[in-house]
Amino acid sequence: MTLRIRCLLAIAVLLLISGCSSARYYSQLASGQWQLLNSREPVDALIADPQQPNALRQQLTQAQAARTFATQRLHLPDNQSYRLYANLQRPYVVWNVFATPEFSLTPITHCFPIAGCVAYRGYYSQGGARGEAALARQQGRDVIISGVEAYSTLGWFDDPILSTMLNWGDERLATLIFHELAHQRIYVKDDTAFNESFATFVEQEGTRQWRTHQGLPPLSTQGTQQRDEFVALVLGTRQRLQALYGQPLAAPVMRQRKAELFEQMRSQYRLLRDNQWGGNRRYEAWINSPMNNAKLLPFGLYDQWVPAFAALFKQSGNDWPVFYAEVAQVGQLPPLQRSAALRQWAAAN
């Protein structure tokens, strides 16, 4: 048993003392991570094995080219992460449960020894996530469950390529590798928006450079523009909900107006779809499914500060090591100063 695995289990045991519910939760975390680590196989061995499916070998070969590119060109960590493979035989590695109060967009946070405080609880089984979600609903909270393809252990373990990462094609796999390695490079405790925006920028710029490296044309801006317009629509709805929740209204009135704002968002979406997107229905399933506060939480977290990091990258002369050094300095600032610096760069972009 390696030192880090012993540390993982020791942390889990220490946290068990807080009660039976916590004991079950941290036990499934330790067990899930342990099973994942035990499932890992060297990618090179799988590629060389003619008994493996050709499609898998081709995907892993392309992934290793992207992994090498990540280290050599993007200056991301050079370790065994994503040079191993784990077949999980399930659609997601974990299921995250997000929850908010009924009349608030502030997430219910959960704090952990390594990752700090985050706006969700993760489960290695869908059943466990559904149980947590049911308890939260009984408490009157807005809840969603979101399946996750990959996550980073922040360099504590050699994170493998997961079978759950292979469902969206070679380029999506490369972007996931860039994103998760970025978390290993820089991670600021208790600041999800900073961490995810930073990793998203590295993913986006890394993908742009990866396509150039392969001699591929730039990605079409149409899809990016539609995504940005959709995110702006959702963020606008969040702002209107936030204003609503600040009013001294009775719960039944607040509930009705909340539902009206969600319907307004759907109407605005249909106008975008039909008048500006040529009928593109890429967000149809999301917009027409049941709506609540928790469903809006991820919006803004993953891209809130992307323009700031883009401006900082340009200011750094598009030099990755210089950029990372600047980001690390910003990450060490107190939270209010950090946000102020990011706002300043975002305004300059």
User: Over pLDDT 70: what percentage of the chain?
Assistant: 93
Q: Are residues 92 and 132 in the same domain?
A: yes
Q: Which residue range is the domain that position 46 belongs to?
A: 3-213
Q: Do the domain assignments include residue 278?
A: yes
Angle, CA of 144, 9 and 145, to the nearest 5°: 5
Q: Are residues 325 and 178 in the same domain?
A: no
Q: Is the pLDDT of residue 7 over 60?
A: no
pLDDT one-digit tens code per residue, 140-174: 999 999 999 998 888 889 999 999 999 888 999 99
Which of 122, 119, 43, 139 minimizes the C-alpha distance to 82?
A: 43
Using pLDDT thresholds of 50, 70 and 90, give the confidence band for residue 114. Answer: low
pLDDT at 21: 55
pLDDT one-digit tens code per residue, 227-255: 889 999 999 999 999 999 999 999 999 99
Q: Do the domain assignments include residue 301?
A: no
Q: Are residues 61 and 121 in the same domain?
A: yes
Q: Do the domain assignments include residue 200?
A: yes
Q: Are residues 206 and 187 in the same domain?
A: yes
Q: Are residues 231 and 195 in the same domain?
A: no
Q: Are residues 145 and 117 in the same domain?
A: yes
Q: Are residues 108 and 196 in the same domain?
A: yes
Q: What is the pTM of this model?
A: 0.86
Is 306 within 8 Å of 200 (Cβ atoms)? yes
Q: Are residues 151 and 201 in the same domain?
A: yes
How far, in Å, are 14, 73, 219 from residue 230 at the CA level?
43, 32, 18
The predicted model gives 44-56 an average pLDDT of: 97
pLDDT one-digit tens code per residue, 284-336: 999 999 999 999 988 877 788 999 999 999 999 999 999 999 999 999 999 99
pLDDT at 56: 96
Q: Are residues 9 and 109 in the same domain?
A: yes
